[in-house]
Amino acid sequence: MTKSKVYVETTVISYLAASPSRDVVVAGHQETTRVWWSRRDRFELFVSQAVVEEASRGDAVAAARRLAFLEGIPVLGLNADIDAIANHLLRASAIPAKARLDAVHIAVASLNRMEYLVTWNLAHIANAAIRGKIEQACRGAGLQAPVICTPEELPEV
């Protein structure tokens, strides 16, 4: 049986590596993420160079914790095709201009034929109001958008 290909966006890694939150919603997301991560062998995981770069930012100790979670996960490169699709997503107003990096994540996942893009970015990626726009923009570029979901939505496959 082949495993589903899953693009892991940076917010998932950030929730894994973060200190426990006192905010009940964030703490719940962190626990859900830890449980999902413990079962990650059901999937074929991928990240991109954009995830590595984002995970490397900020406090050096926190960045090292995030990067440790990325060890062993294949890193998909960035290129002109990714840039073109990201720009297409922005021009189609599927993603706001201020969130260009989010468009890059979607472009990488789409061009690399990921079945799922797992994220906690509820503002610009896993957002019911814009998922249709993302799917439409990807179709307009001749691509199939991945199923965009949070760790709690990613099915047991």
CA angle 50, 10, 132 (to 5 degrees): 90
CA gap 13, 51 in Å, rounded: 9
With 80 as the cut, is the pLDDT of residue 156 above it? no
Distances (CA, A) of 25 to 34, 40, 78: 14, 22, 33
6-15 per-position pLDDT tens digit? 999 999 999 9
Q: Is the predicted pLDDT of residue 52 greater than 70, yes or no?
A: yes
Mean pLDDT of 65-74: 97
pLDDT over 70 (residue 157): no
* pLDDT confidence of residue 11: 97
| pLDDT (average), residues 71-98 | 96
Which H or E run contains 117? strand 116-118
> Quick one: pLDDT at residue 1?
75
